[in-house]
């Protein structure tokens, strides 16, 4: 598969090889953005791994993932947890596999993509963070302590949906749960191009059958976000605990 991003051409082969054709004028940040985005997404699809647009956190009993569209607050939530010393497994691209015991979430790239106002809200100085691309307003904040963190069993998935209005998470079942996961597949057109569309849908169904999927509205302020972490991530794992 060849992905022409305009800034570079990425050739992804067999879920194992990614080669890049670029020019001297391509900015390193642009190249990194496309490799870690479309490039990694295509590799995951080719390998038969389920890639979701999500952030995942480690609790002492396993991982908790938050899926949602752009602006739903996934990255802000992840950055809040990172700032509190928690273990953030990934932001934006969440890779899920299945073993004999059930679904597992793999650690991802050690960065969180934040809007400048979200960074400032969390007490981060936007001036100390780098843009994810020269043409983008989003900033890259580091995920701390990710080196050496192993894959974690996935305990539940929360779907951040503006259409939800209840105070408590609503458990989704059957086709509704699978559909909610399917709606947040990472770079879905790449799954189609790799011939994995049917396999991706089957993986969403399998995940919905083996892992609770719950819907809730996005948090609207920092206090609400912090309370949500306390309520929804049982025994948040701490980096100091060696996870």
Q: Does residue 213 have a pLDDT over 90?
A: yes
pLDDT in tens, 74-133: 999 999 999 999 999 999 999 999 998 899 999 999 999 999 999 999 999 999 999 998
Q: What is the pLDDT of residue 184?
A: 97
What is the DSSP code (8-state) at residue 38? Answer: I
At 240, is the pLDDT very low, low, confident or very high (cuts 50, 70, 90)? low
pLDDT in tens, 44-79: 999 999 999 999 999 887 999 999 988 899 999 999
- For all residues of the chain together, what is the average pLDDT? 92
Q: What is the pLDDT of residue 237?
A: 82
Q: What is the pLDDT of residue 40?
A: 95
Helices (H), the chain: 28-34, 40-47, 74-83, 116-121, 174-182, 188-193, 197-210, 222-232
pTM: 0.93
Task: Look up residue 239 and give its two tokens.
Answer: 């980096």
At 170, is the pLDDT very low, low, confident or very high (cuts 50, 70, 90)? very high
Q: What is the pLDDT of residue 113?
A: 95
pLDDT in tens, 76-88: 999 999 999 999 9
Distance CA 108, CA 146 (A): 8
Q: What is the pLDDT of residue 136?
A: 85
Which residues have C-beta within 8 Å of that of residue 6, sequence separation ≥ 6?
none
């Amino acid at each position: 598969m060849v992905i022409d991003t305009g800034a570079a051409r990425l050739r992804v082969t067999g879920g194992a090889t990614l080669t890049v054709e670029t020019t001297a004028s391509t900015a390193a940040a642009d190249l990194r953005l496309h490799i870690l985005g479309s490039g990694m997404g295509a590799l995951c699809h080719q390998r038969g791994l389920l890639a979701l647009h999500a952030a995942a956190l480690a609790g002492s009993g396993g991982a908790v993932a938050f899926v949602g569209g752009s602006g739903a607050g996934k990255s802000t939530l992840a950055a809040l947890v990172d700032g509190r010393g928690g273990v953030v497994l990934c932001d934006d691209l969440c890779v899920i596999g299945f073993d004999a015991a059930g679904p597992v979430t793999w650690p991802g790239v050690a960065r969180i993509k934040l809007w400048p106002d979200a960074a400032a809200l969390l007490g981060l100085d936007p001036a100390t963070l780098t843009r994810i691309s020269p043409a983008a307003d989003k900033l890259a904040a580091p995920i701390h302590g990710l080196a050496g963190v192993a894959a974690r069993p996935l305990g539940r998935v929360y779907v951040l949906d503006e259409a939800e209005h209840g105070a408590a998470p609503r458990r989704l079942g059957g086709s509704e749960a699978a559909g909610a996961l399917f709606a947040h597949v990472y770079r879905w057109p790449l799954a189609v191009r790799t011939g994995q569309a049917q396999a991706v849908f089957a993986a969403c169904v399998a995940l919905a059958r083996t892992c609770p999927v719950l819907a809730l509205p996005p948090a609207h302020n920092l206090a609400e976000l912090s309370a949500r972490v306390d309520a929804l991530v049982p025994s948040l794992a701490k980096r100091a605990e060696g996870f």
